[in-house]
Amino acid sequence: MTLRRPTNLAAYQSVLLANINRPQSHTRAVYESTGGYRGLRRALGNLSPRDLLQMVRTSGLRGRGGAGFPTGLKWSFLPEDHPGPIYFCVNADESEPGTFVNRVQLELDPHQVLEGIILSCYATRATTAYIYLRYEYPLAMRRMQAAIDECYAAGYLGKNILGAEFSLDVYIHRGAAAYVCGEETGLIESLEGRRAWPRIKPPFPAVEGLFRKPTVVNNVETLACVKQIVDRGVEWFRSIGTLPDPANPRDPGSFGPKLFGLSGHVNRPGCYEAPLGISCRQLIDEFGGGVWKGRKAKAVVPGGLSTGVMTAAELDLPLDFAGPLRAGCLGLGTACAIVLDETYPMIDFLQNSCRFFAHESCGQCTPCREGTHWALAMVDRIKAGRGRLKDLDLLLEIGDSIGIIPGTTICGLADGAAWPIKTTIRKFREELEDYIKGTNPQGYMETEPVERMVGEMI
Ligand SMILES: Cc1cc2nc3c(=O)[nH]c(=O)nc-3n(C[C@H](O)[C@H](O)[C@H](O)COP(=O)(O)O)c2cc1C
Ligand code: SF4
Protein backbone atom coordinates (compact mmCIF):
# COMPACT_ATOMS: atom_id res chain seq x y z
CA MET A 1 0.00 0.00 0.00
CA THR A 2 1.28 3.47 -0.85
CA LEU A 3 0.78 6.34 1.53
CA ARG A 4 -0.87 8.68 -0.88
CA ARG A 5 -1.94 12.13 0.13
CA PRO A 6 -5.35 13.17 -1.07
CA THR A 7 -4.91 15.48 -3.99
CA ASN A 8 -7.85 17.77 -4.29
CA LEU A 9 -7.19 19.40 -7.61
CA ALA A 10 -10.00 21.91 -7.26
CA ALA A 11 -8.44 23.32 -4.07
CA TYR A 12 -4.89 23.39 -5.42
CA GLN A 13 -3.47 26.88 -5.93
CA SER A 14 -0.99 27.07 -8.75
CA VAL A 15 2.33 28.75 -7.93
CA LEU A 16 4.71 27.88 -10.78
CA LEU A 17 2.23 29.07 -13.40
CA ALA A 18 0.47 31.68 -11.23
CA ASN A 19 1.90 34.58 -13.23
CA ILE A 20 1.68 33.42 -16.82
CA ASN A 21 -1.74 34.75 -17.75
CA ARG A 22 -1.01 38.33 -16.69
CA PRO A 23 -0.35 40.78 -19.54
CA GLN A 24 3.41 41.41 -19.90
CA SER A 25 4.09 38.55 -17.48
CA HIS A 26 7.66 38.33 -18.76
CA THR A 27 8.64 41.80 -17.53
CA ARG A 28 10.30 42.71 -14.25
CA ALA A 29 7.61 45.29 -13.43
CA VAL A 30 4.85 42.67 -13.52
CA TYR A 31 6.97 40.09 -11.71
CA GLU A 32 7.80 42.52 -8.91
CA SER A 33 4.17 43.62 -8.62
CA THR A 34 3.35 40.04 -7.56
CA GLY A 35 6.09 39.87 -4.92
CA GLY A 36 8.95 38.90 -7.22
CA TYR A 37 12.53 39.23 -5.88
CA ARG A 38 11.30 39.75 -2.29
CA GLY A 39 12.53 36.26 -1.45
CA LEU A 40 15.93 37.11 -2.90
CA ARG A 41 16.18 40.25 -0.75
CA ARG A 42 15.20 38.29 2.35
CA ALA A 43 17.58 35.43 1.62
CA LEU A 44 20.58 37.67 0.95
CA GLY A 45 19.84 39.66 4.11
CA ASN A 46 19.10 36.78 6.52
CA LEU A 47 20.44 33.48 5.24
CA SER A 48 23.96 32.21 4.72
CA PRO A 49 24.62 30.06 1.63
CA ARG A 50 24.82 27.06 3.96
CA ASP A 51 21.38 27.91 5.48
CA LEU A 52 19.85 28.09 2.03
CA LEU A 53 21.43 24.82 0.94
CA GLN A 54 20.11 23.16 4.08
CA MET A 55 16.66 24.58 3.43
CA VAL A 56 16.58 23.09 -0.07
CA ARG A 57 17.88 19.81 1.29
CA THR A 58 15.20 19.48 3.96
CA SER A 59 12.48 20.47 1.51
CA GLY A 60 13.04 17.16 -0.27
CA LEU A 61 13.15 18.92 -3.66
CA ARG A 62 14.09 16.44 -6.39
CA GLY A 63 15.35 17.50 -9.81
CA ARG A 64 12.64 18.06 -12.40
CA GLY A 65 14.92 17.38 -15.41
CA GLY A 66 14.30 13.64 -15.56
CA ALA A 67 16.33 11.68 -13.04
CA GLY A 68 14.70 13.06 -9.87
CA PHE A 69 17.99 13.38 -7.98
CA PRO A 70 17.66 15.28 -4.66
CA THR A 71 18.75 18.85 -5.38
CA GLY A 72 20.19 19.77 -1.96
CA LEU A 73 22.17 16.54 -1.87
CA LYS A 74 23.64 17.28 -5.30
CA TRP A 75 24.69 20.75 -4.13
CA SER A 76 26.29 19.27 -1.01
CA PHE A 77 28.72 17.29 -3.21
CA LEU A 78 30.49 20.53 -4.16
CA PRO A 79 33.87 20.71 -2.41
CA GLU A 80 33.79 22.99 0.64
CA ASP A 81 36.05 26.04 0.57
CA HIS A 82 36.91 25.58 -3.10
CA PRO A 83 39.30 28.42 -3.91
CA GLY A 84 38.55 28.72 -7.62
CA PRO A 85 35.33 29.38 -9.47
CA ILE A 86 32.21 27.25 -9.13
CA TYR A 87 29.99 27.19 -12.20
CA PHE A 88 26.25 26.83 -12.46
CA CYS A 89 24.63 25.42 -15.61
CA VAL A 90 20.92 25.82 -16.15
CA ASN A 91 19.66 22.98 -18.27
CA ALA A 92 17.13 24.58 -20.61
CA ASP A 93 17.82 22.23 -23.51
CA GLU A 94 14.42 20.52 -23.23
CA SER A 95 14.63 18.08 -26.12
CA GLU A 96 12.85 15.05 -24.69
CA PRO A 97 10.02 14.21 -27.11
CA GLY A 98 6.67 15.46 -25.81
CA THR A 99 8.29 17.88 -23.36
CA PHE A 100 7.66 21.63 -23.42
CA VAL A 101 7.08 22.81 -19.84
CA ASN A 102 10.40 24.64 -19.45
CA ARG A 103 9.52 26.59 -22.56
CA VAL A 104 6.33 27.91 -20.93
CA GLN A 105 8.32 29.14 -17.92
CA LEU A 106 11.13 30.67 -19.97
CA GLU A 107 8.81 32.53 -22.33
CA LEU A 108 6.07 33.60 -19.92
CA ASP A 109 7.78 33.95 -16.52
CA PRO A 110 11.55 34.31 -17.10
CA HIS A 111 12.04 36.28 -13.88
CA GLN A 112 10.76 33.43 -11.73
CA VAL A 113 13.45 31.22 -13.29
CA LEU A 114 16.08 33.94 -12.88
CA GLU A 115 15.25 34.48 -9.21
CA GLY A 116 15.64 30.72 -8.75
CA ILE A 117 18.99 30.82 -10.55
CA ILE A 118 20.29 33.69 -8.41
CA LEU A 119 19.19 32.01 -5.17
CA SER A 120 20.70 28.67 -6.23
CA CYS A 121 23.99 30.30 -7.19
CA TYR A 122 24.06 32.01 -3.80
CA ALA A 123 23.51 28.66 -2.04
CA THR A 124 26.22 26.92 -4.08
CA ARG A 125 28.64 29.89 -4.11
CA ALA A 126 28.66 29.92 -7.91
CA THR A 127 29.68 33.21 -9.47
CA THR A 128 28.90 32.46 -13.11
CA ALA A 129 25.77 30.83 -14.48
CA TYR A 130 25.19 29.65 -18.05
CA ILE A 131 21.69 29.08 -19.32
CA TYR A 132 22.07 26.33 -21.92
CA LEU A 133 18.98 27.07 -24.00
CA ARG A 134 17.42 24.82 -26.59
CA TYR A 135 18.32 26.26 -29.99
CA GLU A 136 14.74 26.09 -31.25
CA TYR A 137 13.41 28.45 -28.54
CA PRO A 138 14.01 31.94 -30.05
CA LEU A 139 11.25 33.69 -28.08
CA ALA A 140 12.58 32.23 -24.83
CA MET A 141 16.03 33.47 -25.86
CA ARG A 142 14.82 37.04 -26.39
CA ARG A 143 12.71 37.15 -23.23
CA MET A 144 15.37 35.58 -21.06
CA GLN A 145 18.01 38.01 -22.34
CA ALA A 146 15.67 40.96 -21.71
CA ALA A 147 15.04 39.66 -18.18
CA ILE A 148 18.79 39.31 -17.55
CA ASP A 149 19.34 42.89 -18.74
CA GLU A 150 16.57 44.11 -16.42
CA CYS A 151 18.20 42.27 -13.51
CA TYR A 152 21.58 43.90 -14.11
CA ALA A 153 19.83 47.30 -14.21
CA ALA A 154 18.05 46.58 -10.90
CA GLY A 155 21.16 45.31 -9.10
CA TYR A 156 19.94 41.70 -8.93
CA LEU A 157 22.91 40.61 -11.05
CA GLY A 158 26.48 41.84 -11.29
CA LYS A 159 28.82 42.85 -8.48
CA ASN A 160 27.68 42.82 -4.83
CA ILE A 161 24.07 41.99 -5.49
CA LEU A 162 21.76 44.13 -3.31
CA GLY A 163 24.83 45.16 -1.31
CA ALA A 164 25.70 41.59 -0.29
CA GLU A 165 29.07 39.86 -0.54
CA PHE A 166 27.79 37.98 -3.54
CA SER A 167 28.37 38.62 -7.23
CA LEU A 168 26.94 36.75 -10.17
CA ASP A 169 27.02 36.95 -13.97
CA VAL A 170 24.50 35.09 -16.10
CA TYR A 171 24.98 34.24 -19.78
CA ILE A 172 22.76 32.51 -22.30
CA HIS A 173 24.35 29.87 -24.51
CA ARG A 174 22.21 28.60 -27.37
CA GLY A 175 22.16 24.82 -27.63
CA ALA A 176 23.53 22.80 -30.52
CA ALA A 177 20.15 21.30 -31.48
CA ALA A 178 20.83 17.69 -30.53
CA TYR A 179 19.03 15.65 -27.87
CA VAL A 180 22.25 14.49 -26.25
CA CYS A 181 23.19 18.13 -25.47
CA GLY A 182 20.69 17.90 -22.58
CA GLU A 183 22.69 15.17 -20.85
CA GLU A 184 24.56 17.11 -18.21
CA THR A 185 28.11 16.25 -19.27
CA GLY A 186 27.21 16.48 -22.96
CA LEU A 187 25.90 19.94 -22.13
CA ILE A 188 29.19 20.82 -20.44
CA GLU A 189 31.23 19.59 -23.44
CA SER A 190 29.02 21.62 -25.77
CA LEU A 191 29.39 24.72 -23.58
CA GLU A 192 33.14 24.31 -23.81
CA GLY A 193 32.81 24.44 -27.59
CA ARG A 194 33.11 20.76 -28.42
CA ARG A 195 30.78 18.11 -29.79
CA ALA A 196 28.30 17.13 -27.03
CA TRP A 197 29.79 13.76 -26.23
CA PRO A 198 28.82 12.79 -22.66
CA ARG A 199 31.73 12.20 -20.31
CA ILE A 200 32.46 9.02 -18.41
CA LYS A 201 31.53 9.50 -14.73
CA PRO A 202 33.07 9.72 -12.17
CA PRO A 203 34.26 12.40 -11.86
CA PHE A 204 30.80 13.92 -11.55
CA PRO A 205 30.30 17.58 -12.47
CA ALA A 206 30.12 18.65 -8.80
CA VAL A 207 33.80 17.71 -8.54
CA GLU A 208 35.02 18.28 -12.09
CA GLY A 209 32.58 19.87 -14.50
CA LEU A 210 32.70 22.93 -16.73
CA PHE A 211 36.31 23.93 -17.52
CA ARG A 212 37.22 21.10 -15.09
CA LYS A 213 35.87 23.13 -12.15
CA PRO A 214 33.12 22.15 -9.69
CA THR A 215 29.81 22.62 -11.46
CA VAL A 216 26.12 22.24 -10.73
CA VAL A 217 23.65 21.37 -13.49
CA ASN A 218 19.97 21.88 -12.73
CA ASN A 219 16.80 22.00 -14.74
CA VAL A 220 14.76 25.20 -15.21
CA GLU A 221 11.75 23.94 -13.24
CA THR A 222 13.94 22.74 -10.37
CA LEU A 223 15.23 26.30 -10.00
CA ALA A 224 11.73 27.80 -10.10
CA CYS A 225 10.91 25.42 -7.22
CA VAL A 226 13.88 26.79 -5.24
CA LYS A 227 12.37 30.27 -5.53
CA GLN A 228 9.03 28.93 -4.29
CA ILE A 229 10.68 27.18 -1.32
CA VAL A 230 12.38 30.43 -0.29
CA ASP A 231 9.11 32.36 -0.61
CA ARG A 232 6.76 29.85 1.00
CA GLY A 233 8.94 27.70 3.22
CA VAL A 234 9.97 24.10 3.60
CA GLU A 235 6.79 23.03 5.40
CA TRP A 236 4.60 24.34 2.60
CA PHE A 237 6.69 22.45 0.04
CA ARG A 238 6.59 19.20 1.97
CA SER A 239 2.83 19.51 2.45
CA ILE A 240 2.36 18.95 -1.29
CA GLY A 241 2.98 15.64 -3.05
CA THR A 242 3.41 12.05 -1.94
CA LEU A 243 5.21 10.41 0.96
CA PRO A 244 7.91 7.78 0.37
CA ASP A 245 6.59 4.60 -1.23
CA PRO A 246 6.85 1.98 1.56
CA ALA A 247 7.29 -0.72 -1.09
CA ASN A 248 10.40 1.05 -2.39
CA PRO A 249 13.04 1.60 0.33
CA ARG A 250 15.04 3.87 -2.00
CA ASP A 251 12.17 6.31 -2.55
CA PRO A 252 12.60 9.50 -0.46
CA GLY A 253 9.14 10.77 -1.44
CA SER A 254 7.97 13.21 -4.08
CA PHE A 255 7.29 16.67 -2.72
CA GLY A 256 6.16 19.96 -4.18
CA PRO A 257 4.28 21.32 -7.14
CA LYS A 258 4.98 19.95 -10.60
CA LEU A 259 4.44 21.00 -14.17
CA PHE A 260 2.85 18.31 -16.33
CA GLY A 261 2.86 18.39 -20.11
CA LEU A 262 0.07 16.68 -22.00
CA SER A 263 0.05 15.96 -25.72
CA GLY A 264 -1.09 13.40 -28.26
CA HIS A 265 -4.67 12.24 -28.57
CA VAL A 266 -6.37 14.45 -25.97
CA ASN A 267 -8.91 17.21 -26.28
CA ARG A 268 -6.87 19.88 -24.51
CA PRO A 269 -3.12 19.37 -24.82
CA GLY A 270 -1.06 21.80 -22.76
CA CYS A 271 1.14 22.56 -19.77
CA TYR A 272 -0.59 22.14 -16.42
CA GLU A 273 0.43 22.51 -12.79
CA ALA A 274 -0.63 20.07 -10.07
CA PRO A 275 0.82 18.42 -6.96
CA LEU A 276 3.20 15.54 -7.60
CA GLY A 277 1.18 12.35 -7.29
CA ILE A 278 -1.91 13.08 -9.35
CA SER A 279 -2.76 10.13 -11.52
CA CYS A 280 -2.29 9.95 -15.24
CA ARG A 281 -6.06 9.53 -15.55
CA GLN A 282 -6.63 12.79 -13.63
CA LEU A 283 -4.18 14.55 -15.91
CA ILE A 284 -5.94 13.29 -19.03
CA ASP A 285 -9.53 13.69 -17.84
CA GLU A 286 -9.48 16.71 -15.52
CA PHE A 287 -6.92 18.83 -17.35
CA GLY A 288 -6.92 17.41 -20.86
CA GLY A 289 -10.69 17.07 -21.23
CA GLY A 290 -10.39 13.34 -21.94
CA VAL A 291 -9.15 11.35 -24.91
CA TRP A 292 -10.13 12.95 -28.22
CA LYS A 293 -12.97 11.91 -30.51
CA GLY A 294 -14.70 10.11 -27.65
CA ARG A 295 -12.17 7.28 -27.83
CA LYS A 296 -10.35 5.43 -25.07
CA ALA A 297 -6.62 5.52 -24.35
CA LYS A 298 -4.64 2.50 -25.48
CA ALA A 299 -1.29 3.58 -24.06
CA VAL A 300 0.27 6.60 -22.37
CA VAL A 301 3.90 7.66 -22.25
CA PRO A 302 4.06 9.05 -18.70
CA GLY A 303 7.07 11.37 -18.82
CA GLY A 304 8.71 11.89 -22.19
CA LEU A 305 9.42 9.16 -24.74
CA SER A 306 12.36 7.70 -22.79
CA THR A 307 10.12 6.50 -19.98
CA GLY A 308 8.31 3.86 -22.09
CA VAL A 309 4.57 3.22 -22.07
CA MET A 310 1.83 2.52 -19.56
CA THR A 311 -1.32 0.64 -20.53
CA ALA A 312 -4.86 1.93 -19.99
CA ALA A 313 -5.05 -0.35 -16.93
CA GLU A 314 -2.10 1.47 -15.33
CA LEU A 315 -3.45 5.02 -15.58
CA ASP A 316 -4.44 5.27 -11.91
CA LEU A 317 -0.85 5.00 -10.72
CA PRO A 318 0.42 8.27 -9.22
CA LEU A 319 2.59 10.50 -11.37
CA ASP A 320 5.30 10.91 -8.77
CA PHE A 321 8.91 9.72 -8.79
CA ALA A 322 7.92 6.19 -7.73
CA GLY A 323 4.62 5.66 -9.57
CA PRO A 324 5.69 4.97 -13.18
CA LEU A 325 8.40 2.58 -11.88
CA ARG A 326 5.61 0.33 -10.67
CA ALA A 327 4.35 0.09 -14.24
CA GLY A 328 7.81 -1.01 -15.39
CA CYS A 329 8.57 2.44 -16.84
CA LEU A 330 11.97 4.12 -16.56
CA GLY A 331 10.63 6.70 -14.11
CA LEU A 332 8.65 9.92 -13.95
CA GLY A 333 11.04 11.50 -16.48
CA THR A 334 9.87 14.96 -17.45
CA ALA A 335 6.25 14.27 -16.38
CA CYS A 336 5.10 15.13 -19.88
CA ALA A 337 2.54 12.56 -20.96
CA ILE A 338 1.77 11.54 -24.54
CA VAL A 339 -1.60 9.86 -25.05
CA LEU A 340 -2.14 7.22 -27.76
CA ASP A 341 -5.78 6.42 -28.49
CA GLU A 342 -7.23 2.95 -29.00
CA THR A 343 -6.90 3.16 -32.80
CA TYR A 344 -3.18 3.96 -32.84
CA PRO A 345 -0.94 1.10 -34.03
CA MET A 346 1.82 0.29 -31.55
CA ILE A 347 4.14 -0.68 -34.42
CA ASP A 348 4.05 3.00 -35.45
CA PHE A 349 4.90 4.07 -31.93
CA LEU A 350 7.81 1.63 -31.90
CA GLN A 351 9.05 2.82 -35.28
CA ASN A 352 8.90 6.52 -34.38
CA SER A 353 10.63 5.87 -31.10
CA CYS A 354 13.44 3.77 -32.61
CA ARG A 355 13.97 6.32 -35.38
CA PHE A 356 14.38 9.13 -32.87
CA PHE A 357 16.96 7.39 -30.67
CA ALA A 358 18.94 5.94 -33.59
CA HIS A 359 19.17 9.46 -35.01
CA GLU A 360 20.20 11.02 -31.69
CA SER A 361 22.77 8.47 -30.46
CA CYS A 362 26.09 10.29 -30.34
CA GLY A 363 27.90 7.11 -31.36
CA GLN A 364 30.53 6.91 -28.62
CA CYS A 365 29.35 3.62 -27.10
CA THR A 366 29.06 0.58 -29.36
CA PRO A 367 25.96 -0.88 -27.65
CA CYS A 368 24.06 2.40 -28.12
CA ARG A 369 25.38 3.25 -31.60
CA GLU A 370 24.82 -0.25 -33.00
CA GLY A 371 21.87 -1.28 -30.82
CA THR A 372 19.68 1.70 -31.68
CA HIS A 373 20.36 1.25 -35.40
CA TRP A 374 19.78 -2.51 -35.38
CA ALA A 375 16.53 -1.97 -33.50
CA LEU A 376 15.41 0.58 -36.08
CA ALA A 377 16.39 -1.68 -38.98
CA MET A 378 14.36 -4.51 -37.50
CA VAL A 379 11.32 -2.39 -36.73
CA ASP A 380 11.43 -0.83 -40.22
CA ARG A 381 11.46 -4.33 -41.68
CA ILE A 382 8.54 -5.44 -39.49
CA LYS A 383 6.60 -2.34 -40.48
CA ALA A 384 7.33 -3.05 -44.16
CA GLY A 385 5.70 -6.50 -43.84
CA ARG A 386 8.80 -8.68 -43.53
CA GLY A 387 8.75 -9.16 -39.78
CA ARG A 388 9.32 -12.47 -37.98
CA LEU A 389 7.85 -13.37 -34.62
CA LYS A 390 11.32 -13.98 -33.23
CA ASP A 391 12.29 -10.38 -34.07
CA LEU A 392 10.35 -9.34 -30.98
CA ASP A 393 12.68 -11.40 -28.78
CA LEU A 394 15.71 -10.02 -30.57
CA LEU A 395 14.41 -6.50 -29.95
CA LEU A 396 13.92 -7.32 -26.27
CA GLU A 397 17.48 -8.63 -26.13
CA ILE A 398 18.76 -5.33 -27.51
CA GLY A 399 16.54 -3.40 -25.09
CA ASP A 400 17.84 -5.36 -22.12
CA SER A 401 21.48 -4.91 -23.17
CA ILE A 402 21.89 -1.18 -23.76
CA GLY A 403 22.07 1.60 -21.21
CA ILE A 404 23.52 2.70 -17.89
CA ILE A 405 21.20 0.38 -15.99
CA PRO A 406 22.62 -2.78 -17.62
CA GLY A 407 26.00 -1.00 -17.33
CA THR A 408 27.03 -0.91 -20.97
CA THR A 409 26.94 2.78 -21.92
CA ILE A 410 28.23 6.16 -20.84
CA CYS A 411 24.93 7.99 -20.66
CA GLY A 412 21.22 7.43 -20.21
CA LEU A 413 20.24 8.06 -23.83
CA ALA A 414 20.53 4.33 -24.43
CA ASP A 415 18.26 3.52 -21.47
CA GLY A 416 15.81 5.98 -22.98
CA ALA A 417 16.02 4.12 -26.28
CA ALA A 418 15.52 0.75 -24.57
CA TRP A 419 12.48 1.49 -22.40
CA PRO A 420 9.97 2.23 -25.19
CA ILE A 421 11.08 -0.98 -26.94
CA LYS A 422 10.85 -3.14 -23.82
CA THR A 423 7.58 -1.77 -22.49
CA THR A 424 5.85 -1.79 -25.88
CA ILE A 425 6.79 -5.39 -26.64
CA ARG A 426 6.07 -6.68 -23.13
CA LYS A 427 2.72 -4.90 -22.87
CA PHE A 428 1.49 -5.06 -26.47
CA ARG A 429 3.05 -8.27 -27.73
CA GLU A 430 -0.21 -9.74 -28.99
CA GLU A 431 -0.94 -6.70 -31.14
CA LEU A 432 2.58 -6.76 -32.57
CA GLU A 433 2.41 -10.49 -33.27
CA ASP A 434 -0.93 -10.02 -35.03
CA TYR A 435 0.66 -7.29 -37.14
CA ILE A 436 3.56 -9.57 -38.10
CA LYS A 437 1.29 -12.50 -38.91
CA GLY A 438 -1.10 -10.27 -40.86
CA THR A 439 1.58 -8.55 -42.94
CA ASN A 440 3.88 -11.55 -43.40
CA PRO A 441 1.48 -14.48 -43.79
CA GLN A 442 4.02 -16.53 -45.77
CA GLY A 443 6.40 -16.42 -42.79
CA TYR A 444 9.18 -14.75 -44.80
CA MET A 445 12.55 -15.73 -43.32
CA GLU A 446 10.79 -17.10 -40.23
CA THR A 447 12.83 -20.30 -40.23
CA GLU A 448 16.14 -18.84 -41.46
CA PRO A 449 19.05 -18.37 -39.08
CA VAL A 450 19.65 -14.83 -37.87
CA GLU A 451 22.87 -14.52 -39.91
CA ARG A 452 20.85 -14.75 -43.12
CA MET A 453 19.04 -11.60 -42.10
CA VAL A 454 22.13 -9.42 -41.99
CA GLY A 455 22.14 -8.70 -45.69
CA GLU A 456 18.41 -8.01 -45.55
CA MET A 457 18.65 -5.50 -42.79
CA ILE A 458 21.24 -3.16 -44.16
C1 LIG B 1 19.99 11.99 -23.31
C2 LIG B 1 19.63 12.86 -22.16
C3 LIG B 1 19.01 14.09 -22.39
C4 LIG B 1 18.68 14.92 -21.33
N5 LIG B 1 18.06 16.11 -21.60
C6 LIG B 1 17.75 16.93 -20.56
C7 LIG B 1 17.13 18.20 -20.82
O8 LIG B 1 16.86 18.57 -21.96
N9 LIG B 1 16.85 18.98 -19.75
C10 LIG B 1 17.15 18.60 -18.46
O11 LIG B 1 16.92 19.34 -17.52
N12 LIG B 1 17.73 17.41 -18.20
C13 LIG B 1 18.04 16.59 -19.22
N14 LIG B 1 18.66 15.40 -18.95
C15 LIG B 1 19.02 15.10 -17.54
C16 LIG B 1 20.35 15.79 -17.18
O17 LIG B 1 21.42 14.92 -17.53
C18 LIG B 1 20.45 16.12 -15.70
O19 LIG B 1 20.13 14.99 -14.95
C20 LIG B 1 19.52 17.25 -15.27
O21 LIG B 1 19.70 18.39 -16.06
C22 LIG B 1 19.80 17.60 -13.82
O23 LIG B 1 18.92 18.60 -13.38
P24 LIG B 1 17.90 18.36 -12.20
O25 LIG B 1 18.66 17.65 -11.11
O26 LIG B 1 17.45 19.71 -11.82
O27 LIG B 1 16.81 17.50 -12.76
C28 LIG B 1 18.98 14.53 -20.00
C29 LIG B 1 19.60 13.29 -19.76
C30 LIG B 1 19.90 12.46 -20.82
C31 LIG B 1 20.54 11.14 -20.54
S1 SF4 C 1 24.87 6.07 -24.50
FE2 SF4 C 1 24.61 6.67 -26.64
S3 SF4 C 1 24.30 8.88 -26.58
FE4 SF4 C 1 25.15 8.29 -24.57
S5 SF4 C 1 27.37 8.54 -24.77
FE6 SF4 C 1 26.91 6.42 -25.36
S7 SF4 C 1 26.62 6.48 -27.60
FE8 SF4 C 1 26.49 8.58 -26.84
pLDDT band (50, 70, 90) for residue 7: low
Pocket probe for ligand 2: among 359, 361, 372, 401, the residue whose CB has the most ligand atoms within 8 Å is: 361
Task: Indicate which ligand has the atom closest to the C-alpha of 182.
Answer: 1
CA of 365 relative to ligand 2 center, distance in Å: 5
- Dihedrals φ, ψ of 204, to 5°? -85, 160
Average pLDDT over residues 251-277: 97
Average pLDDT over residues 131-160: 98
Q: Which atom of ligand 2 is the closest one to the Cα of 198?
A: 5
- pLDDT given at position 83: 86
CA of 312 relative to ligand 1 center, distance in Å: 28
CA of 219 relative to ligand 1 center, distance in Å: 7
- pLDDT given at position 112: 98
Instruction: For residue range 379-422, list pLDDT tens digits in order.
Output: 999 999 999 999 999 999 999 999 999 999 999 999 999 999 99
Average pLDDT over residues 21-46: 97
From the CB of 365, is ligand 2 less than 6 Å away? yes
The widest CA-to-CA distance across the chain, in whole angstroms, is 79
- pLDDT given at position 452: 63
Q: Above 50 in pLDDT, residue 148?
A: yes
CA of 65 relative to ligand 1 center, distance in Å: 5
Q: How far apart are CA 99 and CA 1, in angstroms?
A: 31
Task: Indicate which ligand has the atom closest to the C-alpha of 100.
Answer: 1
Pocket probe for ligand 1: among 75, 76, 78, 91, the residue whose CB has the most ligand atoms within 8 Å is: 91
- pLDDT given at position 3: 41
pLDDT band (50, 70, 90) for residue 4: very low
Q: CB-based contacts of 139: which residues, under 8 Å, 6+ apart?
A: 107
Instruction: For residue range 77-115, list pLDDT tens digits in order.
Output: 999 888 889 999 999 999 999 999 999 999 999 999 999
CA of 402 relative to ligand 2 center, distance in Å: 10
Q: Above 60 in pLDDT, residue 248?
A: yes
CA of 408 relative to ligand 2 center, distance in Å: 10
Share of the chain above pLDDT 90, in %: 90
Q: Above 50 in pLDDT, residue 36?
A: yes
Nearest CA to ligand 2 atom 4: 411
Q: Is 220 exposed, middle or buried (0-12, 13-18, 19+ CB in 10 A)?
A: buried
Q: How far apart are CA 142 and CA 151, in angstroms?
A: 14
Q: How far apart are CA 204 and CA 398, in angstroms?
A: 28
Q: Above 80 in pLDDT, residue 214?
A: yes
Query: Model pTM greater than 0.85?
Result: yes
Q: What is the mean pLDDT of the chain?
A: 95
Angle between helices 49-59 and 110-124 (to 10 degrees): 110
Average pLDDT over residues 284-298: 97
